[in-house]
Structure 1
């Protein structure tokens, strides 16, 4: 069974692409009875408020019909920003050489949080240099990852 986030991505990907934009990722944050559904869109020339508004209207209509998120939620459409979240192995590869904050679902060597330099990727493995040590982290175990802005 697919997660609600994966299902949302599948449902809206072609709609975002129809506007000439890229679906960067989807994030679902539960906040008590309500939740927040964040949709990140990208374009090589940047994202404007107009892009966010038109995508939001179309995505909202799709989600109202398909109803992949149970309960009440707020839809937020935005650019990933400078401290962008990373969702896919390809995004980690694209940002090789960048510093990243990562939180893992399961502890590795007794820790769940890592801050380090993305060295490379190989299939589902992300090589991260942390304080002089190299960690090979499984992408499927990444709970959250964001680029560090200096």
Structure 2
């Protein structure tokens, strides 16, 4: 992601936080992407017990107004608010603790012992190391080395 987009996403996150808290929601991931020539501001939300379509619609309506007033996003874009789905991305360190015991898929930036893709049981995070139990061994991957991680429920 370009520095300009990172700064914009950071501003969007800061603007969203009070509204998220007031509605009992959590921002899992915010991303500004281009798909089929369209720009999409995608927000994935969650809450304990799971998020509903009504939660997403209510947040999108209120947050859309805040965006229009407080942040100038260049060009046309579509605001898309949804649940993270069953294969929820793991983004923050707290996610790796919260979902300990679940099966995950994790990809690293660089190869570790010739491997970049891992699938196993998430054991948690300790001292900035994500611990995964693979079939043959347990690995500790530095949090900063993670390219992407998702729950694997399918």
Same structural fold, with TM-score higher than 0.5 when normalized by the shorter chain: yes
Alignment of 1:1-150 (within 5 A): 3=6, 4-31=8-35, 33-64=37-68, 65-67=70-72, 71-150=75-154
Answer whether contact 1:17 1:23 (CA < 8 A) is retained. Answer: no
Larger Rg computed on CA atoms: 2
Q: 1:17 aligns to what SS in structure 2? A: helix
How does the TM-score come out when normalised to structure 1? 0.81
Gaps (5+ residues) in structure 1? Answer: none
CA RMSD of aligned residues (A): 2.4
TM-score, length-scaled by structure 2: 0.80
Aligned length: 149
What does the per-residue CA deviation read over 1:59-99, in whole Å, with 9 as the maximum and x for residues that have no partner? 223333313x5554332111222211111111111111111
State the 1:20 CA deviation: 2.5
Flag structure 2 segments of 5+ consecutive residues without an equivalent.
Answer: none
SS of 1:75's equivalent in the other structure is strand
**Given the superposition, is the C-alpha separation of residues 8 and 105 from structure 1 closer, same or farther in structure 2, using an over 3 Å criterion?**
farther
